[in-house]
């Protein structure tokens, strides 16, 4: 058995043991398709405040939580540990996106970005959705604070704040092969309503969305020229 086949077999066995045979077969299929080009299935999902399964996720446990302003974000971006490079920050702020941050005293512990506008997934594709929803992307927890559920807590706190502003709730997408993230978000309370597919081969792009996506205006389109990527689907 050559090295590549041994690696594929090992990955398949590990995935089947962790997520089940169906998940392992899906993962293998997606890997095979992506050897020819790029093919991805994004699971579309929403969450409202009443959907959250654990009320404890609204408790920040002493952390200071808020939407950070532009001046504060520019200072935070100067520290490479915060994973907030200047070019990303300029593009996000120019689009009107907002960062909901959790602070442990004066130290940044975790954050996530939120937008009400079409969100560039990368340089080739843009995610569109109904204007009543807010899309969350680029969640990050600094290493010293991992394992404390701060990503979910920050998301739930932002969800409540945005709901108070009149938003329907959060809309998001997760790649169909990212089983760990799918388990995590559905356990939190996200509800999957459909899926969108994207294909790019030799410079050609095509997209498709299932019927369940229509009520949410959820679909992917080839990115317009000049769009700066801000997110990659989980």
pTM (two decimals): 0.80
Quickly count: other Cβ atoms within 10 Å of residue 38's Cβ: 14
What is the pLDDT, as a whole number, of residue 187?
A: 93
**pLDDT at residue 231, as a whole number:** 57
- pLDDT at position 83: 96
For residue 234, the model assigns a pLDDT of 42
**What's the CA gap between 210 and 198, in Å, rounded?**
12
Express each pLDDT in 7-40 by its tens digit.
645 554 655 566 555 555 555 555 544 556 688 9
pLDDT score of 232: 44
The domain limits of the chain are 1-36, 37-222
In this prediction, residue 202 has a pLDDT band, given cuts at 50, 70 and 90, of confident
- DSSP for 148-217, please give it: S-HHHHHHHHHHHHHHHTT---EEEEEETT-HHHHHHHHHHT-EEEEEEEEEEETTEEEEEE-GGGGGGT
In CATH terms, the fold of domain 37-222 is Aminopeptidase (3.40.630)
pLDDT at 203 over 60: yes
Over residues 154-182, the pLDDT tens digits come to 999 999 999 999 999 999 999 998 888 89
| Range with the largest mean pLDDT of 26-35, 200-209, 224-233 | 200-209
């Amino acid at each position: 058995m050559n090295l590549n086949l041994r690696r594929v077999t090992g990955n398949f066995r590990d995935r089947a043991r962790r997520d089940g045979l169906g998940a392992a077969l899906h993962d293998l299929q997606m890997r095979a398709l992506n050897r020819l080009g790029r093919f991805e299935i994004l699971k579309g999902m929403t969450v409202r405040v009443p959907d959250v399964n654990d009320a404890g996720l609204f408790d920040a446990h002493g952390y200071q939580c808020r939407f950070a302003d532009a001046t504060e974000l520019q200072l935070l971006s100067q520290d490479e540990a915060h994973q907030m490079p200047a070019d990303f920050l300029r593009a996000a702020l120019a689009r009107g996106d907002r960062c909901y941050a959790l602070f442990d005293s004066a130290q940044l512990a975790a954050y996530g970005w939120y937008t009400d506008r079409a969100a560039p997934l990368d340089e080739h594709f843009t995610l569109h959705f109904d204007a009543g929803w807010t899309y969350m992307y680029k969640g990050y927890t600094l290493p010293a604070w991992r394992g404390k559920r701060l990503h979910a807590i920050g998301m739930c706190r932002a969800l409540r704040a945005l709901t108070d502003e009149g938003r329907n709730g959060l809309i998001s997408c997760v790649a169909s092969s990212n089983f760990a993230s799918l388990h995590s978000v559905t356990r939190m309370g996200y509800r999957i309503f459909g899926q969108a597919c994207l294909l790019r081969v030799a410079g050609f792009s095509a997209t498709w969305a299932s019927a369940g996506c229509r009520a949410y205006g959820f679909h992917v389109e080839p990115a317009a020229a000049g769009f700066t990527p801000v997110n990659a689907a989980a």
